[in-house]
């Protein structure tokens, strides 16, 4: 369980070296020591573990002003899981249960699928009451209305995989899901889309609502028949991180589903990472695109996920990959963070947009639907898309 008491020892692994300053998007905007991992950890230790300081308004602000992007952890030689400690702290200070519209969306909607109509209403309501100036538009047809069940491999079958459809793909970007199915089946993989999938839980753990997250983890684990598939595919790096690193931690140690959570962790792959590791049956003929790659922050769970799109697309005839000055710099979106801390997110994004402009690429690829949305909203002439969509375009199965 993501309980703070389990992290006391790990917090002390922080050597205070301060190297986390180099990659924390919030610190790089604020340049305040109190807004960087080493001091957040020390403060959590003092307030919630050693109890030398009270839970104050300022303490809550410092907890809230974290994107959970994991850049600090990836920079940290001691690999202190700062995101988990912040989540546990948020849970402990009682942010846990959400109210209002956000709570309604989070707790009711994300636990169920097939509610696109309702989601859409909630979305337009949110826009009306000004919850967010920039809010993603829901797709007219959700992915689960396009594909379901089992889709057979084209040509000779190499194996069978299950597809975990994240909320971003299902509700906002079903084109990603369509490309996932088409590219996988074209490469000889039978794709099973288990019924009854729900949100991976990352939006609710960000709010410290661990109980809701556990419900989602449990629901998801129940629908996968892991023995019958070679891999579980996701197109979203954040869903991937959840399943690889957090599902097991969200369950009690003696939960009967614990074993299954660990088995799932061993089988989860981001789609381009999977394709790269297994190799393409047939290299696409060409891709007439000049593109750049915004590497999502939640990449730490796979050492190869950031190179996969580069390797799969970069060498295609006609394709030109123009690397960003800092390929791994955060865009500021971070789930629903950009709605809650609008100014901060826009400021973080502004550096990213400048770098994208400087790359002179006409397309940006990224494996995170929230980055895709948030970068799109800030760009005027460039298109933002998922690398698997470019791959599908290169095969000619999807029109650009």
Partner 1 sequence: MNGLVKDLTGLIGESKVLFQPEDLLAYANDATHYFRTQPPDAVVLPTSTEEISRVLSYAYEHYIPVTPRGAGSGLSGGATPVKGGIVVDTKRMNRIVEIDRANMTATVEGGVVLQNFHRAVEKMGLFYPPDPQSMSVCTMGANVATRAGGPRGVKYGTTGNYVTGLEVVLPDGSVIKTGGKFVKQSVGYDLTRLMTGSEGTLGIITKVHVRLLTLPPETRTMVVVCESLDQAAEIVSEIIARGAVPSMMEFMIKLAVTVMNTFVFPPLPTDGEAYLLMEIDGTAAQVEHDAETIKAICRDMKAREIREVEDERVARVYWKARSAMYPFIMTIFKRAITEDITVPRSRIPDLVRAIQEIAASVGIMIGLAGHAGDGNMHPTVLQSEINEEIAAKAKQAIDMLVRRGLELGGTISGEHGIGIHKQEYLDWELDQVQIDLMKRIKAAFDPRGIMNPGKIWVEGGQQ
Nearer to partner 1, 13 or 111 (CB): 13
Nearer to partner 1, 43 or 398 (CB): 43
Nearer to partner 1, 39 or 385 (CB): 39
In the complex, least distance from residue 312 CB atom to partner 1, rounded to whole angstroms:
19
**Inter-residue contact 75 to 83 (CB < 8 Å):** no
In the complex, least distance from residue 342 CB atom to partner 1, rounded to whole angstroms:
19
In the complex, least distance from residue 250 CB atom to partner 1, rounded to whole angstroms:
24
Nearer to partner 1, 6 or 42 (CB): 42
Nearer to partner 1, 60 or 111 (CB): 60
32, 42, 82, 267, 337 from 47: Cα distances, Å: 19, 9, 16, 38, 24
Which residues, 6+ apart, have CB-to-CB distance to 344 below 8 Å?
26, 29, 30, 65, 332
In the complex, least distance from residue 12 CB atom to partner 1, rounded to whole angstroms:
7
Nearer to partner 1, 54 or 99 (CB): 54
Q: Phi then psi for 77, rounded to 5 degrees? A: -70, -30
**Inter-residue contact 364 to 291 (CB < 8 Å):** yes
Nearer to partner 1, 76 or 287 (CB): 76
Task: Give the chain's count of helices (H) and strands (E).
Answer: 21, 9
In the complex, least distance from residue 34 CB atom to partner 1, rounded to whole angstroms:
4
What residues make contact with partner 1 under the rule CB under 8 A? 12-19, 21-22, 31-34, 36, 39, 42-43, 46, 53, 56, 58-59, 62, 76-79
Helix pair angle (271-278, 387-395), 10° resolution: 50
In the complex, least distance from residue 18 CB atom to partner 1, rounded to whole angstroms:
4
Residue 386: burial class (beta carbons within 10 Å; 0-12, 13-18, 19+): buried
In the complex, least distance from residue 42 CB atom to partner 1, rounded to whole angstroms:
7
Closest CA to 313 of 294, 287, 295: 287
**Inter-residue contact 220 to 166 (CB < 8 Å):** no
DSSP string, 248-294: HHHS-TT-TTHHHHHHHHHHEEEHHHHHHHH--SS--S---EEEEE-
């Amino acid at each position: 369980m993501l309980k703070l008491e389990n992290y006391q020892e790990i917090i002390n692994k922080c050597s205070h070296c301060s190297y986390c300053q180099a990659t924390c998007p919030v610190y790089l905007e604020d340049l305040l020591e109190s807004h960087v991992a080493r001091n957040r950890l020390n403060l959590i230790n003092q307030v919630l573990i050693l109890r030398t300081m009270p839970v104050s308004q300022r303490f809550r602000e410092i907890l809230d002003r974290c994107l959970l992007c994991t850049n600090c952890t990836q920079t940290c030689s001691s690999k202190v899981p700062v995101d988990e400690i912040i989540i546990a702290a948020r849970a402990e200070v009682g942010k846990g249960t959400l109210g209002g519209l956000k709570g309604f969306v989070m707790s009711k909607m994300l636990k169920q699928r097939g509610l696109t109509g309702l989601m859409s209403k909630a979305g337009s309501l949110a826009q009306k009451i000004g919850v967010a100036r920039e809010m993603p538009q829901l797709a007219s047809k959700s992915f689960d209305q396009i594909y379901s069940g089992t889709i057979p491999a084209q040509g000779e079958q190499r194996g069978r995989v299950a597809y975990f459809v994240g909320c971003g793909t299902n509700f906002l970007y079903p084109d990603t899901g369509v490309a996932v199915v088409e590219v996988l089946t074209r490469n000889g993989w039978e794709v099973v889309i288990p019924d009854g999938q729900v949100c991976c839980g990352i939006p609710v753990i960000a709010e410290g609502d661990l109980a809701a997250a556990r419900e989602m983890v449990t629901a998801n684990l129940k629908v996968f028949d892991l023995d019958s598939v070679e891999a579980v595919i996701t197109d979203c790096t954040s869903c991937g991180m959840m399943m690889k690193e957090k599902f097991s931690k969200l369950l009690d140690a003696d939960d009967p589903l614990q074993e299954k959570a660990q088995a799932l962790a061993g089988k989860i792959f981001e789609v381009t990472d999977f394709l790269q590791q297994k190799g393409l049956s047939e290299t696409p003929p060409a891709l007439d695109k000049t593109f750049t790659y915004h590497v999502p922050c939640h990449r730490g769970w796979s050492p190869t996920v950031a190179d996969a799109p580069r390797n799969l697309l970069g060498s295609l005839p006609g394709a030109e990959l123009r690397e960003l000055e800092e390929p791994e710099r955060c865009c500021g979106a971070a789930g629903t963070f950009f709605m809650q801390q609008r100014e901060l997110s826009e400021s973080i994004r502004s550096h990213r947009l400048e770098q994208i402009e400087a790359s002179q690429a006409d397309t940006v690829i990224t494996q995170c639907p929230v980055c895709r949305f948030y970068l799109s909203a800030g760009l005027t002439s460039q298109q933002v898309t998922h690398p698997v969509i470019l791959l599908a375009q290169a095969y000619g199965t999807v029109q650009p």
